[in-house]
Amino acid sequence: MLKILIASNNEGKIKEIREIFKEIAQIQSQKEAGIDIEPKETGKSFQENALIKAYAVFEKLQDKALKNEWLKDCDEILVLADDSGICVDILHGEPGIKSARYANTSDNDTNSSDEQNRLKLISELQKHKVRESSARFVACVAIIGKIIGKVKVGAKSHVKSNAKSHDKDKSSESKMIEFCGFGECEGKVITQQRGDNGFGYDCMFVPDGFDKTLAELEPQVKNTISHRKKALEQVREYISEHKKS
């Protein structure tokens, strides 16, 4: 069965990812795999940062000193990484890619706590003398790694094949793949913090069509509109299309 290693130790993200992929893959977190690495997010976009994290963890998988029975003799392994954040219109798109470290005023890239980030966002909104602003959550989910799938011979593809084919129609091959899925959730950010579900900025964000924050919504409702779920479903569909039947 396909194995997916999540390049994150965020429990909220891991739970959401497990739910999406439970029928097609075995899931393990970065911590469970014994990989202790936090790549610097030096990208200028969500996509660049997601790929930076995915490639850093994938490179670690090649380390022969890594002791992990779960990864032993694995023919199909993907590393999944995401970068996401909230973009507030009145703040010209901030915090954006700096959402996880918005309150960090030092030169390093250390993440600040969720509470610190929310207080910073509230402070910035108050500076503009507003209690709310249109905003959106944005997510990019990147996968890289090896799967076994069917490829039509002669067809153009951005995947790298590790096997030769003599079938004129299609064949099962081991392929290196790279793909990014994207998702957005439109709404508004408010200066109140409401609700106990979720994490990050969820308690400050009211999605379009609702009068509750994401943190006030039931998890199953939130998951129907989640920006990350939209991106994850694109990835899931991509994997399903490239897997052998």
Long-range Cβ pairs for the range 116-122 (8 Å, 24+)? 117/200, 117/201, 118/193, 118/201, 118/203, 118/204, 120/95, 121/86, 121/88, 121/95, 121/189, 121/201, 121/204, 122/191, 122/204
Give the tokens for residue 48.
Answer: 């660049």
The Cα diameter of the chain in Å comes to: 68
- Tell me if residue 82 is catalytic: no
113 is in an annotated binding site: no
Give the tokens for residue 3.
Answer: 């194995």
84 is in an annotated binding site: yes
112 is in an annotated binding site: no
93 is in an annotated binding site: no
174 is in an annotated binding site: no
Beta bridge partners of 183: 139
94 is in an annotated binding site: no
Please name the residues in contact with 151: beta carbons below 8 A apart, sequence gap of 6 or more: 157, 159, 161, 165, 170, 171, 173, 175
168 is in an annotated binding site: no
202 is in an annotated binding site: yes
Residue 41 DSSP SS3: coil
201 is in an annotated binding site: yes
Q: Which of 36, 75, 83, 208 is catalytic?
A: 83
Residues with a catalytic annotation lie at 83
Annotated binding site for Mg(2+): 83
Annotated binding site: 8-13, 83-84, 199-202, 222, 227-228
Annotated binding site for substrate: 8-13, 84, 199-202, 222, 227-228
